[in-house]
Amino acid sequence: MKDESPCASRLPFLNGVYIAVDALAGAYLIVDGPYCVFTKAEMQYCHNLRSRLLPPLGHRRVVHTGQVSDREEVKSLSTDRTALVDGIFASVCAQPDAGIVLSTTFDFHELVGFPLKELTRRHARPGGPLVRHIPSRSLGGTWLEGYARTCAALAEGLSLRPGRGRKDAVALVGYLRDRDEPDHAGNLRELKRLLKALGLTVESVWLSGGGRAELEAAERASLVISLPYAREAARLVAKRTGAKLCEAELPLGLSATERFLLKVASATGRRARAIRLAAAESREAVRDTQAHVQRVVAGRGAVILQEDPALESALRELCAELGLLTGGEAPDDAPRVCFAPTGDAFGAELMHVPMGYPNYVEHPVCERPFLGYTGFRHLVDRVASAILRREASAA
């Protein structure tokens, strides 16, 4: 039976691939599949007000191969589609702004043994766009695998020359940039600010909305900071460039941000500096938020409904920091703060604080990060607002 809770759906593989392609300037994705490939991209269109996947008047970034005159896609699979798909590749690769052309497969197309990988390889030519195949797990994989596999395909295919790393330069690989909106702009500004405070310059972020040049700038980093959403890609980038690899966790909340800074600092010999920085930043953040936390937030119950393990773990720790009760200690009959995406439902009556993918109901105009110390302030602000609105409306 369909579950109507705010986090009912497990998002499948292609959703993650779409998120990645939307976070790459000049990227196109060819999906061997039916026209639902288009309608599926609408989820990203609704999540990201600046999505580039489906321009109403331009060339679609997500291209399906089921462009057959016979409407029925299943029956069309019994025909030889090689020339049709080859033509689609040629047309997409010829787009003037095509810097990256990726390919993958919709679930039932996985079963028919179509030579998509071979066709993809045929269109990879010197001087042309980067053309890579993403091995599909559309039938069984999750959206997080889709995102990670896309990043890994890029790490294998892009030009990343060894020995070019600069001192104090880092690359962030595995950032889940699910939309081109000010929450992520704020996150990246915050991460760069904190790393700069440690004396480090961010040369490249995977993925950040930039194109091929932004990704290939990772070769100038002497340290690859691996974030949770593309570990394999981070390992590949470090291996190919000869950079040092530092696997960090998601810096969400005071404690996780502090651990993030200390981990990076340890990898670059800046531990004492990081300790001072974290202490100063934490002090300011607590002072800014203590009235909200103590008067409004602490003592409430909270529920975390996420299918992203990194985010779930970070939110659990955040709840502890804010005095939100997530286990059985929370009173049963009191409403709880709910940290969940809004893919299936939005519970205005629930103190729902949308977190995770997708978020259809919030599209900030001003920067509103959720990572680092600035992100911590915004999270407190959102949680307190949700609680007070609920209280006021229930009165």
Partner 1 sequence: MFDQTSKNDPPRCNDSAPAARRRLGREGLLYFNAVIGGPPLGWSVENAVLRGRAIDFSLVRKSRRAELHLSRDSAGRIKASARGDLSGLPEEERGLLDEVASALAGTAFAELLARLNRDALLYCDADGGSAPSRYESYYRAVDHGPRWWKFVYPEARFLEQEVSFGARYAQISHATLECNLNNPRLEVASLRFFAGDERPAAKEGRYSYTDTDIGEADVVGGRTQELLGRALERVAREEKPAFIHLKTTCLPELVGDTPLPFIARIEREHGVPVLWTSKTHDSGPVYEGMVARLLASAPLSGSRDPKAVILAGLSSEETRAEAAALCGLLGLRVVGEAFPNLDFAAFPEIGSAAAVVWYDPVGWAKISDDVFLRRGLKVVRWHPPYGAAGARSWLARVAAVLGLQAPAEAPAPDGLAELIGACRERTVALAGDPADIELLTSRGRAFGFSVAGLLCELGFNVRCLVRSPGPAPRRARAPRGAGTIEFEPFSTRAALDRLLSKGTDLVFTHFNHDPRLEARGLRGFNDRVFEPGLGGMLRTGRTLLARCAARPFPRHRAHLAASS
What are the tokens at 98?
């095509």
- Distance between first and last Cα of the chain: 34
Question: Applying CB under 8 A, does 43 fall inside the site for partner 1?
Answer: yes
Tokens 């005071």 -> residue: 254
Give the pairing type, strands 130-133 and 201-206: unpaired
Other Cβ atoms less than 10 A from the Cβ of 122: the count is: 13
**3-state secondary structure (DSSP) of residue 187:** helix
Nearer to partner 1, 51 or 208 (CB): 51
Out of 84, 99, 107, 216, the only residue in the binding site for partner 1 (CB under 8 A) is 107
Out of 60, 117, 193, 316, the only residue in the binding site for partner 1 (CB under 8 A) is 60
Question: Applying CB under 8 A, does 75 fall inside the site for partner 1?
Answer: yes
Nearer to partner 1, 94 or 334 (CB): 94
> How far are the Cα atoms of 58, 120, 369 from residue 49, in angstroms, in the given order?
16, 30, 17
Question: Applying CB under 8 A, does 245 fall inside the site for partner 1?
Answer: no
Out of 10, 332, 366, 394, the only residue in the binding site for partner 1 (CB under 8 A) is 10
Question: Applying CB under 8 A, does 46 fall inside the site for partner 1?
Answer: yes
Question: Applying CB under 8 A, does 76 fall inside the site for partner 1?
Answer: no
Angle between helices 372-394 and 309-322 (to 10 degrees): 70
Interface characters, 77-96, with partner 1 (x: CB under 8 A): x----------x--x-----
C-alpha span between 377 and 384 (Å, rounded)? 11
What are the tokens at 86?
């080859």
Stretch that binds partner 1, among 101-109, 190-198, 206-214, 269-277 (CB under 8 A): 101-109
Out of 18, 19, 23, 106, the only residue in the binding site for partner 1 (CB under 8 A) is 106
Out of 23, 40, 171, 337, the only residue in the binding site for partner 1 (CB under 8 A) is 40
- Cross-strand bridge partners of residue 336: 301
Interface characters, 114-143, with partner 1 (x: CB under 8 A): -----------------------xxxx---
Question: Applying CB under 8 A, does 275 fall inside the site for partner 1?
Answer: no
Contacts of 394 (CB under 8 A, 6+ apart): 335
Nearer to partner 1, 181 or 281 (CB): 181
**3-state secondary structure (DSSP) of residue 360:** coil
Stretch that binds partner 1, among 32-40, 159-167, 252-260, 269-277 (CB under 8 A): 32-40
Nearer to partner 1, 76 or 385 (CB): 76
DSSP state of 113: T
What are the tokens at 3?
């579950």
**CA proximity to 108, closest of 64, 149, 61:** 64
| Shortest separation between residue 354's beta carbon and partner 1, angstroms | 11
Write phi, then psi, for 356 (nearest 5 degrees).
Answer: 95, 180
Tokens 């990076």 -> residue: 264
Give the pairing type, strands 244-247 and 221-226: parallel
**CA proximity to 245, closest of 270, 218, 271:** 218
| Shortest separation between residue 37's beta carbon and partner 1, angstroms | 9
Out of 165, 186, 358, 372, the only residue in the binding site for partner 1 (CB under 8 A) is 358
Question: Applying CB under 8 A, does 59 fall inside the site for partner 1?
Answer: yes
Positions that interact with partner 1 (CB under 8 A): 1-2, 9-15, 34-36, 38-40, 42-43, 45-46, 49, 54-60, 63-64, 67, 71-75, 77, 88, 91, 106-108, 111-112, 137-140, 342-346, 358, 360-361
